[in-house]
Chains A and B, each alone.
Chain A
Amino acid sequence: MGSHADDRYYVPHESHWPVVGSAGLLFMMVGVSIWLNGSDPGFWVMLAGVAIVIFMVTGWFRDVITESVGSMYNAQVDKSFRMGMLWFIFSEVMFFAAFFGALFYARNMAVPWLGGDSNNFFTNFVLWSGYESTWPTNGPGEVGGDFTVMGPMGLPLINTVILLTSSVTITIAHHALIAGKRGILSTFLAATFILGFIFIGLQAYEYVHAYNDLNLRLTTGIYGSTFFMLTGFHGLHVTLGAIILLVIWFRVLKGHFSKDKHFAFEAAAWYWHFVDVVWVGLYIFVYWL
């Protein structure tokens, strides 16, 4: 701890953003529930909630950025932010773990058992006579009808290369930030989120292809469920990560970061690496094996 001010704890003043956020969540959750129950106005209530939450996120971050640029955060606050971000990413990992767990359980247990594996001969014989378990499958009831599997080659492979490349570009950007090379920093950071948005675009194209040409849908039994939920939630996270990187890019252009104070950049980079690692898991377990 350096100057005298740094020896004192930093406690932020009151903030209205949390309750604004709670109000936004209230509208969002109530709205989407009403909508799912078949009442269309719920959709607009949900949108209002989303708008309030976006308003809250921008306002809250504007406060934090103003305080950060105003040098109000000492080393201890910086460390709190770092730890908070890492634990948040851990919670995200566990959210994906639930869906990976569902994939592994269905693939290695539920489906073989439906096929009579282990001591489940009568499950197969009585309930699903004649069903032979395989993977990928849409189950003994062939829910969703005939479908074609999404193979690992082609688009998924290109997407893998894109995401892995974006991990390299953001690392180059980080090194450039530390070395004080602003031009390289902004170029490679821009390259990162552009790659991210290209990934999303290709992913959307792949979904259209799956729905139209392969008859592979969210409703295609357990394979379709796990495929679309895992890749879908991953895609949402890539979208969020790319938007975060875009915001960071604007802050770079404004000259917000110095070589030893750029936590926001690092947090975005950590998040980006996280979505990258999840993709590698997806590519191996959902597309490839």
Chain B
Amino acid sequence: MSTIAAEVNDHAHDDHGPAKGIKRWLFATNHKDIGTMYLIFSFAMFLVGGLMALVIRTELFQPGLQFVHPEFFNQMTTMHALIMVFGAVMPAFVGLANWMIPMMVGAPDMALPRMNNWSFWILPVAFGILISTLWMDGGAPASGWTMYPPLVLQTGDAFPFLIFSVHLMGISSIMGAINIIVTIMNMRAPSMSLLRMPIFVWTWLITAYLLIAVMPVLAGAVTMLLTDQFFGTSFFLAAGGGDPVMFQHIFWFFGHPEVYIMILPAFGVVSEIIPTFARKPLFGRDSMIYAASCIAFLSFIVWAHHMFTVGMPLSGQLFFMFATMLIAVPTGVKVFNWVATMWKGAMTFETPMLFALAFVFLFTIGGFSGLMLAITPADIQYHDSYFVVAHFHYVLVPGSVFAIMAGVYYWLPKWTGYMYNESLGKLHFWLSTIFVNLTFFPMHFLGLAGMPRRIPDYSTQFADFNMIASVGAFGFGLSQLILIYVLLTAKKGVPATDAVWDNPEGLEWTVPSPAPFHTFDTPPEVLPPLKQEQHA
């Protein structure tokens, strides 16, 4: 026994490289390999979900029904949302966390590497099941990603597959989040105090907490749907004393923190990038952390603003309206801090910075429309209109997705060891930014003029703006081909230096590019100093 143990012991302390072939990926325990798989998977889902968006925009190019059946249209809106939320945005941020957090805190790997592998490999199963529903009797789920009963109970054979794929996504997210929290709390270099941690690490710590708190609630909600459908429970059946509105409450208790799960890591990425290219320390560093914590706390007490029209006591409407508007305060702190960081900075505009800048502008537009939606009497007019579609696409596409792209461009040289093609990166940025606005800005007007969401046909007065939005959507989709080309040729550029950029802040820039398989074998003793504000 003891000799076996000793052998195993020696093996564990070998500085082993990656395994060969497919085993490297199937059996991976390395945070960089798992991070890469997460990023590739999320990009694949981004393309699949994007194609579904293009089906939607094709049908909406002109009024009337011309390309798809209304049932299929509903399946597309539902699947597009589920795939983009759970398959593209969330795994992309987990991929960035996997790659960067161990490097940023001075750890060799994630705290629980095998579980890390499992949380990734559940995802292809979950989305395999979800996407396979497209070919089932009754088609894919068509109730909207919010799965409201009683509508969702009309789903065909896809129904149990939908429920269980959501369970699997939840299991994956919870395990990923536990891993990230434990890595941050237990694997930091000894000299890295909590307030000394990079902002990206901080925002992910808070995000992981939100994930563990709300993903099980979603699991509970969909479990109730399942038992209502197959086992005769009455959770959402008024005749039995239940209430369909109760599902909405439980769902949005998950759903609103989920919104911040998708944006807090984006805040973190942008807070890393802007100081580098403004060549100034992040303004109000500690207040950034407190603001993110504040947003996380508030996210638990605002959920019913998604359902003002569904009926609730006046006191409830008032409470949820005011609590929602409070979120503008910590969010405003963040936006002003980013602007103040750039104030009098020696700015340059490489691709990551361009995406980060666009994020600040365009996310703020989404934030403002969110503030409009928070006002209960106004929301009763905006509800379920294209104004809502415009709002959440502004915070999710030029918000979360742009931040992911900014992060990918920012850290890509550290991952590959080579500089990507800067001119193509800039071209990708400009085309994406122009087309994303062309797609989503007209939707504000459509919504205010009364066009309802999730409907395949519309009144003729909406035709012009819909046509513009469809052109924008195809432009945005085609622009992503440039990103694919940039990524495929990422190792063709000039070798990157260790720092990659001009004196960026953080441990990840002190190690070679590309970073070694296990970045730190022992905890780094001395951390690079934080940048200090220069007082003239």
Chain A residues within 8 Å of B, Cβ to Cβ? 5, 7-19, 21-22, 25-26, 29-30, 32-33, 36-37, 60, 66-67, 69-72, 76, 79-81, 83-84, 87-88, 90-92, 94-99, 101-102, 105-106, 109-111, 113-114, 118-119, 127-128, 137-141, 143-144, 217-219, 221-226, 228-229
Residues of A within 8 A of B103 (CB): none
Q: Does the CB pair B217–A97 fall under 8 Å? A: yes
Does B23 belong to the interface (CB within 8 Å)?
yes
Known pairs A9-B107, A26-B125, A139-B242; A80 contacts B114 (CB<8 A): no
- State in angstroms the CA–CA spacing of A13 and B117 once bound together: 12
Chain B: residues with Cβ within 8 Å of the partner, total of 87
Chain B interface, DSSP helix/strand/loop, else mixed: helix
The 13 listed contacts between A and B (C-beta, < 8 Å) are A11-B113, A15-B27, A18-B118, A26-B125, A29-B161, A106-B243, A111-B241, A138-B241, A139-B234, A144-B240, A219-B234, A224-B234, A228-B233
User: Taking the nearest CB of chain A, how far is it from the CB of B282, in angstroms?
Assistant: 28
Residues of A within 8 A of B227 (CB): 218, 225, 229
B residues 1-53 touching A (CB-CB < 8 Å): 1, 4-6, 8-9, 11-13, 16, 19, 23-24, 26-29
Known pairs A71-B5, A94-B214, A218-B233; A101 contacts B253 (CB<8 A): yes
Known pairs A7-B522, A37-B157, A72-B5; A12 contacts B118 (CB<8 A): no
Known pairs A25-B168, A110-B246; A102 contacts B27 (CB<8 A): no
Q: Does the CB pair A29–B129 fall under 8 Å? A: yes
User: Taking the nearest CB of chain B, how far is it from the CB of A25, in angstroms?
Assistant: 6
Does B461 belong to the interface (CB within 8 Å)?
no
Q: Does the CB pair A21–B118 fall under 8 Å? A: yes
Does B160 belong to the interface (CB within 8 Å)?
yes
- State in angstroms the CA–CA spacing of A79 and B112 once bound together: 11
Chain A interface, DSSP helix/strand/loop, else mixed: helix
Known pairs A36-B230, A224-B233, A229-B224; A141 contacts B240 (CB<8 A): yes
- Nearest CB in chain B to that of A23: its residue: B125
Does B174 belong to the interface (CB within 8 Å)?
yes
Q: Does the CB pair B234–A225 fall under 8 Å? A: yes
- State in angstroms the CA–CA spacing of A79 and B107 once bound together: 15
Residues of B within 8 A of A118 (CB): 313
- State in angstroms the CA–CA spacing of A226 and B228 once bound together: 12
Q: Does the CB pair A90–B164 fall under 8 Å? A: no
B residues 113-152 touching A (CB-CB < 8 Å): 113-115, 117-118, 121-122, 124-125, 128-129
Does B182 belong to the interface (CB within 8 Å)?
yes
Known pairs A14-B29, A91-B212, A91-B216; A98 contacts B250 (CB<8 A): yes
Known pairs A26-B128, A29-B168; A225 contacts B240 (CB<8 A): yes
Does B64 belong to the interface (CB within 8 Å)?
no
Q: Does the CB pair B122–A22 fall under 8 Å? A: yes
Residues of A within 8 A of B171 (CB): 25
Known pairs A30-B129, A87-B178; A80 contacts B111 (CB<8 A): yes
User: Taking the nearest CB of chain A, how far is it from the CB of B316, in angstroms?
Assistant: 10
B residues 185-217 touching A (CB-CB < 8 Å): 185-187, 212-217
- State in angstroms the CA–CA spacing of A71 and B250 once bound together: 45
- State in angstroms the CA–CA spacing of A96 and B250 once bound together: 12
Q: Does the CB pair A95–B12 fall under 8 Å? A: no
Residues of B within 8 A of A110 (CB): 238, 241-243, 245-246
Residues of B within 8 A of A17 (CB): 114, 118
Does B302 belong to the interface (CB within 8 Å)?
no
- Nearest CB in chain B to that of A80: its residue: B111
Residues of B within 8 A of A141 (CB): 237-240
- State in angstroms the CA–CA spacing of A140 and B214 once bound together: 32
Q: Does the CB pair A225–B117 fall under 8 Å? A: no
User: Taking the nearest CB of chain A, how far is it from the CB of B385, in angstroms?
Assistant: 26
Residues of A within 8 A of B111 (CB): 80, 83-84
Known pairs A30-B129, A37-B157; A94 contacts B216 (CB<8 A): yes
Residues of B within 8 A of A70 (CB): 1, 4-6, 8-9
In the A-B complex, the 3 residue pairs with the closest CB atoms: A98-B220, A141-B239, A70-B5
